[in-house]
Chains A and B, each alone.
Chain A
Amino acid sequence: MNKTLIILKREYLLRVKKKSFIVMTILGPILMAALMIVPIFISQMSDKKAVIAVVDETTLFTERLKSTDNIKFIPLEMDIQVAKDNFDKNRYDAILYIPMSAINTPSTMRLLSDKYPSITVKLYIESQLKQELESMKLSASGIDKEVLKSIETRVNLTTIKITEGGKEETSYPEVATALGIFAGILIYMFIFMFGAQVMRGVIEEKTSRIIEVIVSSVKPFQLMMGKIVGVALVGLTQFLLWIVLTFTLVGIFRAAFPEKFSIKEQAKIYTADNKMLNPDELSKIADIKNTSAPSDTKNDVLNAIASIDFGVMIASFIFYFLAGYLLYAALFAAIGSAVDNEADTQQFMMPVTIPLIFAIVMAQFVMNNPNGPVAFWLSIIPFTSPVIMMIRIPFGVPYFDLILSIVLLIAGFIFTTWFAAKIYRTGILMYGKKVNYRELAKWLFYKS
């Protein structure tokens, strides 16, 4: 067997057998599945229909309050006192009391309930009442209701991403943002976590002095690469297990609660409002499958999740994790080789970690303008590109940027590996010497 492979195998098995690896592998998917499932459940909790009894002394509103999927208005022909007394017996969630005085003093209207009504219910009722009061007042001032309707415009901006072949696709900037930052942070964590593992491994070999035995059998470069690639495979295994387990968990939930995951027919509440628009535009809106009603959070969440291109995300994550990790792991290995113990790593860690931390700091900025010049440059410079490109990808990245970034990143890790190998082969045999940057620079020119 090739010796690099023997080393790789040891490094890999050593780490995947560790308890911490197993714990992480199980906890990760539970967290990620929760991230996908919990919003769906939460969005459906408000799905319960709120039944509002309406005691309307003015009789002006009863007919006009529109019930929706979530709120149902039931007119009550009784005195408010009676209604209040019978509140427990009847299954209302709340009583909307509109006294005679409400026409002139709207603040006398009351929403009575034994619990706090949800904010959406309250806001909806308020807007309904406001609308009706306004239209009544307008009519009273002699403005025709039809004229009013024609003036009233509802703007519901649907963001559309134009994809290949001019196809239009509803985009979810919020989802892209969340997904981008999640992937970016994950890459950042993975690079740090597994890079540090490489570094600790190198330090361990050096301090336990086994290094000399090993490099009398294999070349330092083989040992370094065996370790780096071995740990990379550990990272990859962890990630793939996470993906498989997450989708399995989500799949189990989907099977267990199918009704929560089905996308409902679009609510038609806005068609009425839109009927004054010209038919062309109307049909255009109808064409767009995912025109969503803001109130329908569940469909939103489901559509948003459906809008994620998991294939692209996973593939690019794997590439940027591997290439970014290789770039940094080589440097971490070089740091490990240059010091005698972990405490001495600080001075060398700084310049290596700063670009990574900088990338995370710039994440917010990049998300606000994912195709701007800052995002462009940071996503093609190899030291920041793994994190920044992952943030950009959910927003859609031009092929030119992507290819440039990939090529530079590959060139970057080849360079850092070459560079690190030179420091590594000298460093691992150097003991009891306080190493500084000048010393490191000299090592670069020693004959191997």
Chain B
Amino acid sequence: MTLFTAENIVKRYANHTALNKVSIEVSAGMVFGLLGPNGAGKTSLIRIINQITAPDEGVLYFKGERLKPKHTEKIGYLPEERGLYKKMKVGEQALYLAQLKGLSKSDALKKLRYWFEKFELQTWWNRKVEELSKGMQQKIQFIVTVLHEPEILIFDEPFSGFDPINVNLLKEEIINLKKKGSTIIFSTHNMASVEELCDNIALINKAEKILDGSVAEIKRQYKSNIYEISFPSADISLKDVLDGNFEVLSESKEAYTGKAIVRINNGMPSNHLIAALLPHISINSFTERIPSMNDIFIAKVTQNGQFANANNLTE
């Protein structure tokens, strides 16, 4: 089921266009990654989804309905630049922000108690925010974002500013939320977390969407039939034994093992490569090189296209 759609969103500022006819579609229960280099327009899109700013053109739908101010209560938003009222007490502040999201006071209190216990923050309830460490403030902010059990959660660079322990904690929570059925949109530069968490992505560069789809599908699409072979060292160069259907991109030899990276041309199945090798070497391992999201990202953004460059892949 499609939960959220943005169609042909255009946002212009005085001197530049931040978004140019960008469309995304997010299904219920999905973790949707919004990728793109700095200044690509991710935050502009996120602000439009949150109804912080309005698009110049284009429409947004929430569950098939035009997006309206009442929908803010169904959305939880953790902005990239996070902050709280420094002089306000932690509990009071969490309660205030929860009420702004439409929770009743008693409801908010009940839920806050659960989350504060979970993150072991109970003793900080009556302390001022400025007395908290940055990590703790981030946790509070996270709690406030998810407290009203929104149908869509939007995290803008959620991992920036967290230490590795808290990054893991956060990842776990995101996975938990997904299991509970929340739909999550998050923007990030952290490609490892994209592979780990995202079902679908949209890649935005220079105000335009240049790639979207499911992570698995994109990877399949961008694989280029490159295989990594390791075999017991022998005085043999694969270049000499393979015919024109295969292209040896690199070869290396160590004391006991030889390694080679080979591209299969003409869309032949990998079995042909194995068949061609078997008469000459015994094979220790045979692995397909799947491009990481990181590679795809860099390739798409730099518009070099030739990401399947052997040198890129070996290291």
Contact = CB atoms under 8 A, between A and B. Distances in A.
11 contacts: A6-B99, A7-B100, A209-B81, A212-B47, A212-B79, A214-B97, A216-B52, A217-B101, A429-B47, A447-B56, A448-B53
Interface in A195-226: 204-205, 208-219
A216 B83 contact: no
Given A208-B85, A209-B83, A216 B99 contact: no
A214 B82 CA distance: 11
Contact of B96 (A10, A208, A448): A10
A290 B97 CA distance: 61
Interface in A211-253: 211-219
A6 B82 contact: no
B69 interface: yes
Contacts of B97: 213-214, 217
A143 interface: no
Given A10-B96, A442-B14, A216 B50 contact: yes
Contacts of B72: 216-218
A3 B100 contact: yes
What band does the interface of chain A fall in when counting residues whose beta carbon is under 8 Å from B? 20 to 34
Contact of A204 (B85, B141, B144): B85
A14 interface: yes
Contacts of B192: none
B210 interface: no
Contacts, number: 66
Contact of B52 (A1, A429, A446): A429
Contacts of A212: 47, 52, 77, 79, 81
Interface of B: 13-14, 47, 50-54, 56, 69, 72-73, 75, 77, 79, 81-86, 88, 96-97, 99-102, 141, 144-145
A29 to B, nearest CB: 28
B77 A213 contact: yes
A167 B54 CA distance: 62
Interface of A: 1, 3, 6-7, 10, 14, 204-205, 208-219, 429, 431, 442, 446-448
Interface pairs A-B: 6 shortest CB-CB = A209-B83, A217-B100, A208-B83, A212-B79, A216-B77, A216-B50
B99 A1 contact: yes
B81 A218 contact: no
Q: Which of A210, A219, A448 has the most CB of B within 10 A?
A: A210
Contacts of B83: 208-211, 213
A432 B217 CA distance: 40
A218 B100 contact: yes
B199 to A, nearest CB: 24
A210 to B, nearest CB: 5
B57 to A, nearest CB: 10
B144 A213 contact: yes
A436 to B, nearest CB: 13
Given A6-B96, A14-B88, A209 B82 contact: yes
A212 B82 CA distance: 8
A14 B56 CA distance: 37
B100 A208 contact: no
A209 B47 contact: no
Contacts of B81: 209, 212, 431
